[in-house]
Amino acid sequence: MILDIISAVLILLGGVLSLAAALGLLRFGDLLSRMHASAKPQILGLLTVAVAIAIQYPAWSTVTTLAIVISFQLVTIPVATHMVGRAGYRTKHLRRSMLYRDELAEAVDRAEAREAAWERRRGSGTDHNDG
């Protein structure tokens, strides 16, 4: 019975994390802030729920399948979040006033300068008017 209560508490913790992510989605005013908020239940909430399942049914098949689910989330969620953040940066879905420091802008500037130098080196002596 105490294991039931422990697993119920873990499920409640997953619900609390999910609610925290939803409140972050509701209240934050920026794409990157919402991304920061929304990553909580995707890994940690699911981890607590998986621990609850493993407490209730400690069989090898169940635990290994849960390990597969958790490791899949651990691998794919940073990739998906990186893709969303990169698309948000490129399409300017971010508030510059909410950034303390834009470290990516320096790298973008350097890449742009290198591309401009390469274009100048490539296009010298020709008069093509396109890209």
Partner 1 sequence: MSQIVLDTLIVAASVLLAISVIIALYRIVRGPSILDRMIATDVVLASIMCGLGGFMALSGRTDLLPVLIVLAMLGFVGSVSVSRYVSKSDSMTPGAEVGSLSDFSSSDWHMPKESADDAEGHSDTGARQQAQSPVGEEWPDDVARGISDVADGPDAITVQEDEEPVTVGLDQGTDPSSDPSAEPSVDPDSDAEGEVMGTGPDSGPEDSDDGERTGPEPDDDEGGRR
Under rule CB under 8 A, which residues in 32-61 are in contact with partner 1? 34-35, 38, 41-42, 45-46, 49-50, 52-53, 55-57, 59, 61
Query: Which of 26, 60, 100, 101 forms a contact with partner 1 (CB under 8 A)?
Result: 26
Task: Based on the shown chain and the rule CB under 8 A, indicate whether residue 80 belongs to the binding site for partner 1.
Answer: yes
Q: Which of 60, 97, 100, 101 binds partner 1 (CB under 8 A)?
A: 97
Name the residue nearer to partner 1 (CB basis): 50 or 100: 50
Residue 12 touches partner 1, criterion: CB under 8 A: yes
Residue 67 binds partner 1 (CB under 8 A): no
Q: Per CB under 8 A, does 131 bind partner 1?
A: yes
Whole-angstrom distance, CA of residue 119 vs CA of residue 3: 67
Q: Does 8 bind partner 1 (CB under 8 A)?
A: yes
Is position 101 an interface residue for partner 1 (rule: CB under 8 A)? no
Three-state secondary structure readout of the chain: CHHHHHHHHHHHHHHHHHHHHHHHHHHCCCHHHHHHHHCHHHHHHHHHHHHHHHHHCCCHHHHHHHHHHHHHHHHHHHHHHHHHHHHHHHCCCCCHHHCCCCHHHHHHHHHHHHHHHHHHHHCCCCCCCCC
